[in-house]
Structure 1
Protein backbone atom coordinates (compact mmCIF):
# COMPACT_ATOMS: atom_id res chain seq x y z
CA UNK A 1 0.00 0.00 0.00
CA UNK A 2 2.88 2.37 0.78
CA UNK A 3 4.34 1.78 -2.68
CA UNK A 4 0.98 2.59 -4.32
CA UNK A 5 0.64 5.88 -2.44
CA UNK A 6 4.31 6.75 -3.07
CA UNK A 7 4.03 6.02 -6.81
CA UNK A 8 0.78 8.05 -7.03
CA UNK A 9 2.51 11.00 -5.31
CA UNK A 10 5.46 10.78 -7.73
CA UNK A 11 3.17 10.66 -10.79
CA UNK A 12 1.03 13.57 -9.58
CA UNK A 13 4.16 15.56 -8.65
CA UNK A 14 5.60 14.95 -12.11
CA UNK A 15 2.41 16.13 -13.79
CA UNK A 16 2.30 19.30 -11.72
CA UNK A 17 5.90 20.13 -12.68
CA UNK A 18 5.08 19.87 -16.38
CA UNK A 19 2.02 22.05 -15.93
CA UNK A 20 4.14 24.72 -14.22
CA UNK A 21 6.73 24.84 -17.01
CA UNK A 22 6.78 28.31 -18.57
CA UNK A 23 5.42 28.55 -22.06
CA UNK A 24 7.94 29.66 -24.63
CA UNK A 25 6.93 32.98 -26.12
CA UNK A 26 8.05 34.47 -29.36
CA UNK A 27 8.04 38.22 -29.63
CA UNK A 28 7.90 39.88 -33.02
CA UNK A 29 9.07 43.43 -33.39
CA UNK A 30 8.04 45.32 -36.47
CA UNK A 31 9.78 48.51 -37.40
CA UNK A 32 7.96 51.02 -39.53
CA UNK A 33 9.64 54.09 -40.93
CA UNK A 34 7.22 56.88 -41.56
CA UNK A 35 8.45 59.36 -44.06
CA UNK A 36 6.68 62.36 -45.43
CA UNK A 37 6.14 62.11 -49.14
CA UNK A 38 8.41 64.57 -50.90
CA UNK A 39 7.80 65.54 -54.50
CA UNK A 40 10.52 67.00 -56.68
CA UNK A 41 10.27 70.69 -57.48
CA UNK A 42 12.34 72.85 -59.77
CA UNK A 43 15.28 74.75 -58.32
CA UNK A 44 13.56 78.02 -59.23
CA UNK A 45 10.60 77.06 -56.99
CA UNK A 46 12.82 76.97 -53.88
CA UNK A 47 12.29 80.12 -51.75
CA UNK A 48 15.13 82.63 -51.55
CA UNK A 49 15.35 82.15 -47.76
CA UNK A 50 16.07 78.46 -48.24
CA UNK A 51 18.70 79.12 -50.91
CA UNK A 52 20.32 81.75 -48.69
CA UNK A 53 20.50 79.32 -45.76
CA UNK A 54 22.20 76.71 -47.94
CA UNK A 55 24.74 79.24 -49.22
CA UNK A 56 25.54 80.52 -45.71
CA UNK A 57 25.53 77.19 -43.88
CA UNK A 58 27.27 75.14 -46.55
CA UNK A 59 29.68 77.40 -48.47
CA UNK A 60 31.16 75.94 -51.63
CA UNK A 61 28.25 73.57 -52.25
CA UNK A 62 25.86 73.40 -55.16
CA UNK A 63 22.12 72.77 -54.91
CA UNK A 64 21.46 69.71 -57.10
CA UNK A 65 17.80 68.75 -56.46
CA UNK A 66 14.95 70.03 -54.32
CA UNK A 67 11.88 68.22 -52.98
CA UNK A 68 8.85 69.59 -51.11
CA UNK A 69 6.24 67.88 -48.90
CA UNK A 70 2.73 68.80 -47.75
CA UNK A 71 4.08 70.50 -44.59
CA UNK A 72 5.95 73.01 -46.76
CA UNK A 73 9.30 71.48 -45.81
CA UNK A 74 12.15 71.08 -48.25
CA UNK A 75 14.53 68.18 -48.80
CA UNK A 76 17.61 69.52 -50.55
CA UNK A 77 20.32 67.46 -52.19
CA UNK A 78 23.54 69.44 -52.26
CA UNK A 79 27.00 68.47 -53.46
CA UNK A 80 30.54 69.55 -52.81
CA UNK A 81 32.89 68.02 -55.32
CA UNK A 82 32.14 64.29 -55.37
CA UNK A 83 30.39 64.26 -51.98
CA UNK A 84 26.61 64.53 -51.76
CA UNK A 85 24.55 65.64 -48.75
CA UNK A 86 20.86 65.84 -47.89
CA UNK A 87 19.52 68.79 -45.89
CA UNK A 88 15.98 69.38 -44.62
CA UNK A 89 14.63 72.92 -44.14
CA UNK A 90 11.31 74.63 -43.63
CA UNK A 91 10.01 77.36 -45.94
CA UNK A 92 11.69 80.06 -43.81
CA UNK A 93 15.12 78.49 -44.28
CA UNK A 94 15.45 76.96 -40.80
CA UNK A 95 17.36 73.67 -40.89
CA UNK A 96 15.34 70.69 -39.60
CA UNK A 97 16.96 67.63 -38.01
CA UNK A 98 15.60 64.39 -39.49
Structure 2
Protein backbone atom coordinates (compact mmCIF):
# COMPACT_ATOMS: atom_id res chain seq x y z
CA UNK A 1 0.00 0.00 0.00
CA UNK A 2 2.88 2.38 0.78
CA UNK A 3 4.38 1.67 -2.64
CA UNK A 4 1.08 2.57 -4.34
CA UNK A 5 0.83 5.89 -2.48
CA UNK A 6 4.49 6.65 -3.20
CA UNK A 7 4.02 5.85 -6.90
CA UNK A 8 0.96 8.11 -7.10
CA UNK A 9 2.89 10.94 -5.42
CA UNK A 10 5.75 10.61 -7.91
CA UNK A 11 3.40 10.63 -10.91
CA UNK A 12 1.50 13.67 -9.64
CA UNK A 13 4.77 15.47 -8.87
CA UNK A 14 5.99 14.81 -12.40
CA UNK A 15 2.82 16.24 -13.90
CA UNK A 16 3.05 19.43 -11.86
CA UNK A 17 6.68 19.89 -12.95
CA UNK A 18 5.66 19.50 -16.60
CA UNK A 19 2.83 22.01 -16.13
CA UNK A 20 5.32 24.54 -14.74
CA UNK A 21 7.79 24.06 -17.63
CA UNK A 22 5.29 24.08 -20.52
CA UNK A 23 4.49 27.84 -20.43
CA UNK A 24 8.21 28.65 -20.44
CA UNK A 25 8.78 26.45 -23.49
CA UNK A 26 5.85 28.07 -25.32
CA UNK A 27 7.23 31.51 -24.49
CA UNK A 28 10.63 30.60 -25.95
CA UNK A 29 9.04 29.19 -29.11
CA UNK A 30 6.99 32.37 -29.59
CA UNK A 31 10.10 34.51 -29.17
CA UNK A 32 11.95 32.52 -31.81
CA UNK A 33 9.05 32.81 -34.24
CA UNK A 34 8.85 36.57 -33.81
CA UNK A 35 12.62 36.99 -34.29
CA UNK A 36 12.56 35.04 -37.55
CA UNK A 37 9.94 37.21 -39.29
CA UNK A 38 11.10 38.94 -42.44
CA UNK A 39 9.62 41.86 -44.35
CA UNK A 40 9.97 42.03 -48.12
CA UNK A 41 12.08 44.90 -49.45
CA UNK A 42 12.84 46.22 -52.93
CA UNK A 43 15.91 44.72 -54.54
CA UNK A 44 17.42 48.23 -54.69
CA UNK A 45 17.28 48.38 -50.88
CA UNK A 46 19.54 45.33 -50.52
CA UNK A 47 22.97 46.36 -49.16
CA UNK A 48 25.75 46.41 -51.74
CA UNK A 49 27.88 44.17 -49.52
CA UNK A 50 25.31 41.37 -49.89
CA UNK A 51 25.02 41.79 -53.67
CA UNK A 52 28.81 41.71 -53.99
CA UNK A 53 29.10 38.62 -51.76
CA UNK A 54 26.48 36.86 -53.88
CA UNK A 55 28.39 37.66 -57.10
CA UNK A 56 31.54 36.14 -55.61
CA UNK A 57 29.93 33.04 -54.11
CA UNK A 58 27.31 32.37 -56.82
CA UNK A 59 28.17 34.27 -60.03
CA UNK A 60 25.22 32.81 -61.98
CA UNK A 61 22.61 33.47 -59.27
CA UNK A 62 19.79 35.94 -59.86
CA UNK A 63 18.03 37.55 -56.90
CA UNK A 64 14.27 37.19 -57.21
CA UNK A 65 13.17 38.61 -53.84
CA UNK A 66 14.79 40.12 -50.76
CA UNK A 67 13.62 40.34 -47.15
CA UNK A 68 14.96 41.92 -43.96
CA UNK A 69 14.31 41.11 -40.30
CA UNK A 70 14.22 43.48 -37.34
CA UNK A 71 17.73 42.31 -36.44
CA UNK A 72 19.05 43.35 -39.88
CA UNK A 73 19.39 39.81 -41.17
CA UNK A 74 18.59 39.46 -44.83
CA UNK A 75 16.87 36.58 -46.60
CA UNK A 76 17.50 36.44 -50.32
CA UNK A 77 15.52 34.25 -52.71
CA UNK A 78 17.77 33.31 -55.61
CA UNK A 79 17.47 31.35 -58.83
CA UNK A 80 20.27 29.52 -60.60
CA UNK A 81 19.39 27.67 -63.80
CA UNK A 82 16.61 25.26 -62.75
CA UNK A 83 17.21 25.60 -59.01
CA UNK A 84 15.65 28.04 -56.56
CA UNK A 85 16.53 28.60 -52.93
CA UNK A 86 17.04 31.07 -50.12
CA UNK A 87 20.24 32.44 -48.65
CA UNK A 88 20.69 34.35 -45.41
CA UNK A 89 23.24 37.10 -44.73
CA UNK A 90 23.96 39.90 -42.31
CA UNK A 91 24.14 43.52 -43.49
CA UNK A 92 27.91 43.17 -44.07
CA UNK A 93 27.47 40.36 -46.59
CA UNK A 94 28.53 37.51 -44.28
CA UNK A 95 26.52 34.34 -44.88
CA UNK A 96 24.39 32.95 -42.06
CA UNK A 97 23.65 29.25 -41.74
CA UNK A 98 19.93 28.58 -41.13
TM-score normalised by the chain length of structure 1: 0.68
**1:48, CA displacement in angstroms?**
1.5
2:6 paired residue among 13, 20, 29: 20
The match for 1:10 is none
Unaligned runs of 5+ in 1: 1-14
Give the ranges of 4+ consecutive aligned residues of structure 1 lying more than 3 Å apart after TM superposition: 22-31
| Structure showing the higher helix proportion among its residues | 2
SS in 2 for 1:17: helix
Q: Pairwise CA RMSD of aligned residues?
A: 2.3
Distance (whole Å) between structure 2 residues aligned to residue 20 and residue 72 of structure 1: 54
Residue pairs, 1:1-98, within 5 angstroms = 15-21=1-7, 23-24=10-11, 25=14, 27=18, 32=29, 34=32, 35-98=35-98
How far does residue 38 in structure 1 lie from its aligned partner after superposition?
1.1
Q: Distance in 1 between matches of 2:64 and 2:71?
A: 21
In 2, Cα distance between equivalents of 1:54 and 1:17: 66
Look at both structures and tell me which one has the larger radius of gyration over its CA atoms: 1
Q: Given the two structures, how large is their TM-score scaled by the length of structure 2?
A: 0.68
Q: How many residues align?
A: 84
* Residue segments in structure 2 that go unaligned for 5+ positions in a row: none
